[in-house]
Chains A and B, each alone.
Chain A
Amino acid sequence: MPQFDHHPPRWALWFLQLYCKPRVREIIEGDAYELFYKRVETDGLKVAKRKFGWDVLRFFRPKYIKGLEDINSLNNIAMFKNYFKISVRSLVRQKFFSIINISGLSLGLAACLLIMLYITNELSYDNFHKDVDRVYRIANNQSGQYTPARLGAQSKMDFPEIEEVVRLSGPYDQTFKVNNQIFKEQEGFSADSTFHKIFTVKFVEGNPDKALTEPNSIVLTEGLASKLFPKQEAYGQLVTVNGNSLKVTGVVADPPKNTHFHYNFIESFPHESWITVGNWTGNNFFTYAKLVAGATPESVEAKYPDFVAKYVGPDLVKYTGHTNYEEYLAEGGRQGTFTLKPMKDLHLYYPHMALGSQGNINNVYIFSAVAVFILLIASINFMNLSTARSAARSKEVGMRKVLGSRRNQLVYQFLVESMMISVLAMILSMGLASIVLGGFNELANRNFSYTDLLAPSTLLLLFSLVLVVGLLAGSYPAFYLSGFNPLRALKGENKAGGGNVFLRKGLVAFQFAISIFLIISTMIVFSQLRFMGQQKLGFQPEQIMVVKNTGLLREKLSAFKNQLLQKPNIESLTLTNQYVSSSIADWGYSTMEDNPRHFNLMNMFTTDDFLETMGLQLVEGRFYSNELASDSAVAVINESAKKELGFENVIGKKVSRGDGEDYTIIGVVKDFNYESLKRSIEPLILRRMFEDGRMEADWYGGNYLSLKVTGNFGETVKQVESEWNAMVQDEPFDFVFLDDSFNSLYEEERRFGKLFTVSSGLAIAIACLGLFALAAFTLERRRKEIAVRKVIGASVKSLTMLVVSDFTKLVAIGSLIAIPTGYWIMQDWLATFAYQININNPLLFLIPVILVTVIAWLTVGFQSVKTATSNPVKALRSE
């Protein structure tokens, strides 16, 4: 077969046809063919084909590619080199402006970088779980976090949409005893054995399917395992908890930080009836469900009302005394249901359901707003300074135009310059951000490290931010400067900011507005915090010390109490099941009338010395006494509860828990704040606790011992601690003073206040930098004008006022924007508190305005005075 009957690969010919200029294609093709036919002879068809393809690929050069004729390739790069050179020169020539520009921008960028870090972290919560989109938390009714024990299993049985369920309870603290060493550990949970099917956990040791099936099993995180069992394998070891031995059946990797559910250890549930069978009325568990792929939560939610009627209804009816569920509903009983909340929303949208993670979507919004504000101020500075400097560079622009620059080339030049400044600022901001990372962690209540700061995703975000800022801030000066008429620019007729004075002043006014707004917010947040701190609670919280975990004393309790009462510093003490300022649960009570009314009252068990210890006053009746045996079924309520119950004469009335559990009200205590001041005083019922901590039947709950102390607090704490250590071996001494405990309730608000302080400080600092530079520039422009005025006879004072009053007007305009906005937004914020300061206090708004005005005066005035006092001859002679 002659070589000419073979054909080179078709794709190569097609590719050549695609890219090659027609003028040279024939010659290239000809040479390639000639080589091909020769190679078929010498090397064989296969090699020839391959080499033909390679030749064609090698011809893929700019010279032969279609459509590239018009590109004057090298010129652009040369121009960009020139732009860089000019940018560097102009930056170096105007050091003062450059430093202010770059430092202002880098401050803003650093703030943004940290806030971006925070926001991306907030939004990443729980995303690491496999199939997180299908995992839901079942809420009792709309948002109740606790659900009945039987809910999960029954739901899985009845609804095909549900693939798997798990129940959790916790978080609790646990004291472990390992080899006679005591460890007090937090963030413990109990869970069903299906735990790992819902949550993504990496088992280092142990079988995920079997780890939690047996009672008395415990799964430790790697961190805790190495703490309890240093230098040995934890798997298979025993730990002692309250006298029980738990077997370590698994060791899992520490959960990531960005989860709503952070645990140190997971225990299995005991095989007892309250777990394995459970009931429908006690809400004790968190229930999570994983739906099958494609199922919607709405379809499950739609089935729950009937589900409740079928399973929960009979129990409810028994409790309320109705004949059936329909009658219960007809008489105003609430129809119960369950709803599904996406697990990845728990952290931000349902923080009260998140197990310990403190997220808040509002914080994300507030932080974002602050970032935007600060960046805006920094960008405005940037724009203002660049345009203000335009006069100095108008000759350069004119010259370039005369030499043939097109307008878009000039635009490029200025954009390159602004990008250069932004990139410089970016590098600086990275340094700044890493310096203040610790402070930021405190502010955001997170734990970021330098590696988070340098993560590629963060850097990418920062870089895109820098691109946007550089383009945005650079675009106005670029388009403005490039629009100069070359002839007028060269003659020096372009007055600095002829047409853009209005815009520039508007931007400065806007900066003032942001600063004033932030200071107003700061003032209001702190006044509110101080107000809450000074609010009378109705007792003396700083005198009351609460000793925790007294339930563990058991039979030694009375001995412990007696020992303490002998101390001269301890006046009295009371045993309770919860302590004031901690989370107190509400219990349902009904009145004993023909038409019983149902109330939810905050319920607390106390011994009879509660009033005396807390220093509370009785308004009506008497308090229960442990001396009187007849006082077993009595209760004392607060004034709010009296109002709620609505009886004219409440003493002697009875309230019922159902099933014959009736309590006679024997006294009314004056209202006192036993919760955060965000909430008004809610109805409270106090029930009698026996001296040994017994609440009902054989249910013990005397977990907290409140002591009224006087004298030296530090000494008293030491005394109590030594008593505790003498009686309890396995539990460390734990206590809190009530004023600290109350203060910790406002942690979030305090952080909020700090955030505003920092951001308003930053905003003012950046704005001042800009103002300073702008004033310097303005004065430079008006130097001759001022000199002439001075020669004609103007005084230094009037000259200074001339400049300062210009800027004062801008502050006035800014405050006109800021005051209503601040009023409106902070009123919204205050609405979350039951006890609020009076926002109509004009001082709250006047002080920030005055502060900003004074700062502006100082910034501008210093330079004005300098210019006004200088010798006018110098300014006038310079031409």
Chain B
Amino acid sequence: MQRINLGEFEELVLLIVAILNDNAYGISVMEEIEVQTERKINISAVHSALDRLESKGFLKSEVGGATNERGGRRKRFFTVTVAGNKALNFVREQRNRLHEQIPNIDFGLNQYASI
């Protein structure tokens, strides 16, 4: 079986970058995660995940223009690569397949399910 090396947080970040489409950079990813999952995270954790995903080839980045709200500093925009798309699809399919195999749980009555 093909193995996709994608951690839980990495998967989340990858998904968010995909959602944000052309506007994915450190802050926007962090804020989107906060909005979508109500998780409080530090910006450095986001950076670290983005960097890892880039080194794995799931993301690519380019530097955008400078803006005033960043004290004249440029943004680094991320976009999902083909490999990243494949990885997302793979993980999703795998999850779906697994979900579908869960039998109808009948708590307490089915002696095998309770294990």
Contact = CB atoms under 8 A, between A and B. Distances in A.
A33 B69 CA distance: 7
B110 interface: no
B51 interface: yes
A67 interface: no
A725 to B, nearest CB: 89
A26 B75 CA distance: 8
B84 interface: no
Contact of A59 (B47, B68, B69): B47
Given A30-B75, A31-B27, A55 B70 contact: no
Most buried by B among A26, A31, A55: A31
B73 A30 contact: yes
A250 B96 CA distance: 86
A35 B34 CA distance: 14
A34 B30 CA distance: 12
Contacts of B74: 26-27, 30
Interface in A12-67: 26-35, 37, 54-55, 58-59, 61, 63
A4 interface: yes
A34 B27 CA distance: 8
A31 B68 contact: no
Contacts of B5: none
B71 A31 contact: no
B71 A29 contact: yes
Given A28-B47, A55-B44, A61-B48, A35 B27 contact: yes
Contact of B75 (A4, A27, A54, A59): A27
Most buried by A among B44, B45, B47, B76: B44
A58 B69 contact: no
Contacts of A63: 48, 51
A27 to B, nearest CB: 5
B36 interface: no
B26 A27 contact: yes
Contacts of A30: 26, 70-71, 73-75
A27 B47 CA distance: 9
B70 A59 contact: no
A55 B43 contact: yes
A61 B73 CA distance: 21
A268 to B, nearest CB: 72
Contacts of B70: 30-31, 33-34
A26 B73 contact: yes
A183 to B, nearest CB: 74
A245 B75 CA distance: 95
Contacts of B25: 31
Contacts of A33: 69-71, 73
A35 B48 CA distance: 17
**Size range of the chain B interface in the assembly:** 10 to 19
A29 B76 CA distance: 12
B76 A59 contact: no
B42 interface: yes
Contacts of A28: 47
A4 B68 contact: yes
Contacts of B51: 63
Given A26-B74, A27-B76, A31-B27, A61 B44 contact: yes
Contacts of B27: 31, 34-35
Contacts of B45: 58
A59 B44 contact: yes
A26 B26 CA distance: 12
A677 to B, nearest CB: 83
Interface string B43-76: 1110110010000000000010000111101111
A251 B69 CA distance: 76
Given A31-B27, A35-B27, A63-B48, A58 B73 contact: no
A35 B42 CA distance: 11
Given A26-B73, A37-B69, A55-B43, A31 B48 contact: no
Contacts of B76: 27
Contacts of A34: 27, 69-70
Nearest to A27: B76
A51 to B, nearest CB: 10
A32 B69 contact: no
Contacts of A59: 43-44, 47
B95 to A, nearest CB: 30
Contact of A32 (B43, B48, B63, B75): B43
A4 B68 CA distance: 8
A795 B44 CA distance: 82
Most buried by A among B68, B71, B74, B76: B71
Nearest to B29: A31
A59 B69 CA distance: 20
Nearest to A36: B71
B40 to A, nearest CB: 12
A334 to B, nearest CB: 84
Interface string A339-356: 000000000000000000
B69 A4 contact: yes
Contacts of A4: 68-69, 71
Most buried by A among B42, B48, B69: B69
Given A63-B48, A63-B51, A31 B69 contact: no
A4 to B, nearest CB: 6
Contacts of B73: 26-27, 29-30, 33
Interface in B55-111: 63, 68-71, 73-76
A29 B42 CA distance: 14
A27 B77 CA distance: 10
A9 to B, nearest CB: 14
Given A4-B69, A63-B48, A58 B75 contact: no
Nearest to A7: B71
Contacts of A54: 42
Contact of A35 (B43, B63, B68, B75): B43
Nearest to B61: A27
A76 B63 CA distance: 36
Nearest to B46: A31
Most buried by A among B25, B43, B63: B43
Contacts of B26: 27, 30-31
Nearest to B51: A63
A59 B73 CA distance: 17
A58 B68 contact: no
Nearest to A3: B69
A32 B75 CA distance: 11
Contact of A55 (B42, B68, B75): B42
A34 B47 CA distance: 14
Given A4-B69, A26-B73, A37-B69, A31 B42 contact: no
B42 to A, nearest CB: 5
Most buried by B among A4, A27, A58, A63: A27
A584 to B, nearest CB: 86
A37 B75 CA distance: 15
A32 B27 CA distance: 9
A55 B26 CA distance: 13
Most buried by A among B47, B74, B75: B47
A69 to B, nearest CB: 14
Contacts of A26: 73-74
Contact of A58 (B44, B63, B71): B44
Nearest to B76: A27
Interchain residue pairs A-B with the least CB separation, the first 3: A30-B73, A58-B44, A33-B71
Given A30-B70, A33-B73, A35-B43, 14 more contacts: A26-B74, A27-B73, A27-B74, A27-B75, A27-B76, A30-B26, A30-B71, A30-B74, A30-B75, A31-B26, A33-B71, A37-B69, A55-B44, A58-B43
Interface of A: 4, 26-35, 37, 54-55, 58-59, 61, 63
25 contacts: A4-B68, A4-B69, A4-B71, A27-B26, A27-B63, A27-B73, A27-B74, A27-B75, A29-B73, A30-B73, A31-B43, A31-B70, A32-B43, A33-B70, A33-B73, A34-B69, A34-B70, A58-B42, A58-B45, A59-B43, A59-B44, A61-B44, A61-B48, A63-B48, A63-B51
